[in-house]
Structure formats: structure tokens, C-alpha cells
Amino acid sequence: MVTKRQHYYPRCLIKHFSNDDGKLYAYIRLANKTNYVNYQTVCSENYTYEGSSGVDNKLENEFSTLESGLTPIIEKIFNTLSIVNNKFVVDISEDEIDFLYKYIRIQIDRTDTGRINFVRSAGNFNYTQRKFPFTLEEIKNCKKKEILEFNDRFKKSELLERYFGLKNKPNDMNFHLVIGENFITSDNPVVIFADGKELYMPISQNLCLSFQHDSLNCSKEVIVQITKEKNKYINESQIETANYYVLSKEKFDIFTNIYIYRRFHEKNWEKKSRHFK
């Protein structure tokens, strides 16, 4: 059976932003409105991982295999997170942490933005990713160029598996499970700070995976609580990097709605936003 609707942000992650009815709040950029929708309907596109040779689901199936390794780790985090002696604890192994790091690196690459950056940077050591996101028109123009080239490259036998295996967590990158409030997410769910020394990927309204370099945070504590300002900054970054969707478990508050409006409608926003300075 051929999978037509292919997710570039796996449902095993998105579902933890949904409510008991399986729905979440989504600002849909192409429609310029916020709807309450089933989590399975967002962050997907017809045949997005197919190549020039036609529809074969090869790359889609390889991503599904990675997601089958990711799902039990994410579920384990939710199932074992608890409070013992007034302290948060979670059951997670070093191998599982290494898998999460590898997966986050792959998640960066598998979106439209990621595929464009990957192809443009491959073999080009002078390539520097620009600070502000690609426009929808630019992405559209890349569908049959960089994005198609990415798909064709990774359809080669076991290339994605080998690439995944090379993304081992460096010893100087520390894993943290970040406790916060009202995290939101987007179709580009991994936000990157400090030239790649900080990575954040929210996995629910209150939890965010993070990897930080020793030079920024050398703490070996697995579970950390975030400041309100950093929480806000991560949420703003999700809006800044979004191409198609901004997602939330709860209705967007007035401040988030204003930020979304300014990000997508205000002229020369990249010159005004603190995220591009």
C-alpha cells in the first residue's frame, strides 16, 4: 500500500500537543487563520519524500523506521517522569539520549527548509545559513531542485540509516529535559541558537528536549526548569522559523496572536525581530 500523505514532523511527536479529542490549535499560514484541527492533518504533504524516479515510498519508509525507534523513547519519558523527594526524575539511558540527539539532527534536515539547506551546504564549506527563513515562494521554487535532489540522494540504499549513524552526540553536548509552560511548536520544530550550540525541540506543552554545549551549560542535571523569558524566546523562535504551521495545545493567547500576525504580515520583519540580530 502506497502512503500518499507523508509527514515531515512525525505524528508520534505532534500528538502530545493535542487534547483528549485528538485536536490542537493550528495557525495555518496558507489560509492565514487559526483552526482547531486533528493533529494528524498538519505538517504533511502529498508525496513529499518521493523522487524523480516516481512513487515508491522508499524514503518515507526509512523515516518511518526511525520514528519507530523514537516513539518508545518519547513514551518512556512521559511514563516515567515523576517527582521523588521533591525532585523531578526520569528514566532514560545514555543510548536513548544519543538516539534523541541523532533524531533531532535528522528532524532539522527532513523539513522543506532543512532539505534546501542540506543540499546547498553539502560539499560547500563556505555555505552559511541565513538568519531569516525562506519565503514560501522560494520553497516552491526549490521543490523540483534542492528538495527533489535531497529525496533522490537519500533514496539510495540505506544512506539515511548510515547518515543517522554518523550523528553521534558529542561529549561536550549535554542533554536536558526542560520543564516549561505552554510550549508551542511548528513545522520546523527544532530551534537552533548560538550557532548550533543550543538545540531545543518541544515535545509537549510542558516538556522540551534540549542539547547544550559545555560552554553554555555544563550542568549534568537531566531535568531542568526554564525561565519564563527563555520559555518565551523558544516560543517566539517557533513562530519565526515556521513555514506552514504554528501549533499549540491551548488557544493562542493575545500576545502570541500578535506575534504571529507581526511575523507573517509586518513588512521588513526580519529587521525588527530580535531573533535575526
pLDDT in the model for residue 156: 85
pLDDT in the model for residue 206: 97
User: Which residues is 7 bridged to in the sheet?
Assistant: 44
Could you write out the DSSP letters of every residue in 171-218? TTEEEEEEE-SS--EESS--EEEGGGTEEEEE-SSSEEEEEEETTT--
CB-based contacts of 191, cutoff 8 Å, min separation 6: 199, 200, 201, 234, 237, 238, 241
Amino acid letter, 4:
K
pLDDT in the model for residue 219: 77
CA distance 217 to 211: 9
Residue ranges in the chain modelled with pLDDT below 50: none
pLDDT in the model for residue 49: 97
pLDDT in the model for residue 67: 97
CA distance 6 to 57: 9
pLDDT in the model for residue 105: 97
